[in-house]
Structure 1
Amino acid sequence: MKILIIEDEPELREVVQHFLERELFLVEYAADYQSGLDKIISYEYDCILLDIMLPDGNGMDLLKELKKLDKKDPVIILSAKDSVDDKVSGLEIGADDYLAKPFHLAELLARIKSVIRRKNQDGENKLHYRNISVYPDSRKVIIDDNELVLNRKEYDVLYYFMVNPEKTLQKTMLAEAIWGDYIDQADSYDFIYSQIKNLRRKLKDNGAKADLQAVYGIGYKLIS
């Protein structure tokens, strides 16, 4: 799952980034309004952590731009301004949650999982397709009653397909969702083919009633 941190305080940003990376999130960051706007225009995120006070703009205005673009990325506002008016304003504009600084990292993690659960899992603690169940909080995959062992990227690929069942996903979309900023360094998308090949084999060997079908010239989709 991919997180964007829009925060101008380097120390706080680094602490949050390292904590979330230890929790196996893919984390990107922006230190100001303009770079944050560039990110939300170009990519999709499972959750955006948004500071209100930015050096070249206001986080509330960035939230308004996100809604103008009709993007559904969940947003948690992080702000030292712990006033009722700020909270109400942020939530009315379209934020999903509001957390005042300073905060405990454990609480931040719980809130991130909560908004992702509402967005991607209809509030449930798992994703289910045919006889496959994915439990994002523990990163477990169950086929029938047996656990499927996947490496980190195989799990991330499967999760993205489980969020978008029976939808054709372009290779570029898949690469950006799973590898984030690092995709710009890739010469080709051959690494995606390798991950999907291994994942398809593991699904088949473990009796999954679903497969990843190649859509020629476009990408892949999860089908029954």
Structure 2
Amino acid sequence: MKVLIIEDEVELLRGIQDFLEREHFLVESADNYEQGMDKILNYPYDIVLLDIMLPGGNGLDLLRLLKEKNVNQSVLILSAKDSVDDKVLGLEIGADDYLAKPFHFAELLARIKSIVRRNAQHGDTVIQYQNVSLDMDNRIVKVDGEELQLNRKEFDVLYYFLLRPNKLLEKTTLAETVWGDHADQADNLDFIYSQIKNLRKKLKDAKATLDIQAVYGVGYKLV
């Protein structure tokens, strides 16, 4: 999953980022209002961890901006402000949940997974499509019940496609989501072709009844 942390406390930001990266998340960050606004309006994320008090603005204003721009974005508010009014206002504006500082990273991880399952996977921990199943929490893929060995990026690519079956996905969007912001600015996107080629071969060899098809000049589609 790709996470954006908008937080101005440097030590906390680094602590969350290190923890989530150990849990196999792709993490981007911003430490002020302007950076946060630029990222949430220009790049896709599975979830945004949003502090309320930011240099240059208020996190709740970023929530309002998302609503005004009709950006469908999962948001978990992180804030030292623990008043009922702040919680209620954040949830009314469009946040999915609220976690008061200080918090344990284990609780943060549980909240993130719960929000993503609820919004992207309809509450399920395992995605099933044709004869392929993907367990997000344990990072296990099976074909007809037999485990399929994938590397980290192959797993992330397949997970991204399984959440969007039959949808045409542009190369640049795939690059930003799986490899990080600004990946689309690389000299070329051959690294995507290479990963998908390897993933397709593994799925075919395992007799998966799904395939990832290239749409010339645009991107790929899971069929």
TM range, normalised to the smaller chain? over 0.9
Partner of 1:181: 181
In structure 1, stretches of 5+ residues that fail to align are none
Contact 2:175 2:183 in 1 (8 A): yes
Partner of 2:29: 29
What code does the residue aligned with 2:199 have? Answer: L
Deviation at 1:70, TM superposition (A): 1.2
In structure 2, stretches of 5+ residues that fail to align are none
Partner of 2:71: 71
What code does the residue aligned with 1:179 have? Answer: W
What code does the residue aligned with 1:84 have? Answer: V
Within 5 Å, give how 1:43-82 maps onto structure 2: 43-82=43-82
Give the 4+ runs in structure 1 shifted more than 4 A: none
Within 5 Å, give how 1:1-224 maps onto structure 2: 1-181=1-181, 183=183, 186-223=186-223
Contact 2:175 2:184 in 1 (8 A): no
Measure, in 1, the Cα distance between the counterparts of 2:120 and 2:147: 22
Deviation at 1:181, TM superposition (A): 2.4
**Number of equivalenced pairs:** 223
What code does the residue aligned with 2:98 have? Answer: Y
Deviations 1:106-148 (A, max 9, x none): 0000000000101111111111110111111111101111011
Cα root mean square deviation, aligned: 0.9
Q: 1:182 to 1:24 in 2, by over 3 A?
A: farther
What code does the residue aligned with 1:30 have? Answer: A
What code does the residue aligned with 1:110 have? Answer: A
TM, length-normalised to structure 1? 0.98
Measure, in 2, the Cα distance between the counterparts of 1:212 and 1:118: 25
What code does the residue aligned with 1:13 have? Answer: L
Measure, in 1, the Cα distance between the counterparts of 2:173 and 2:181: 12
Paired residue secondary structure (1:153): helix
Measure, in 1, the Cα distance between the counterparts of 2:84 and 2:78: 14
Identity among equivalent pairs (%): 65
Deviation at 1:154, TM superposition (A): 0.4
Contact 2:43 2:181 in 1 (8 A): no
Contact 2:172 2:184 in 1 (8 A): no
Paired residue secondary structure (2:181): helix
Deviations 1:169-204 (A, max 9, x none): 110011011011251562100000000000000000
Measure, in 2, the Cα distance between the counterparts of 1:142 and 1:73: 29
TM, length-normalised to structure 2? 0.98
Deviations 1:86-110 (A, max 9, x none): 1000000000000000000000000
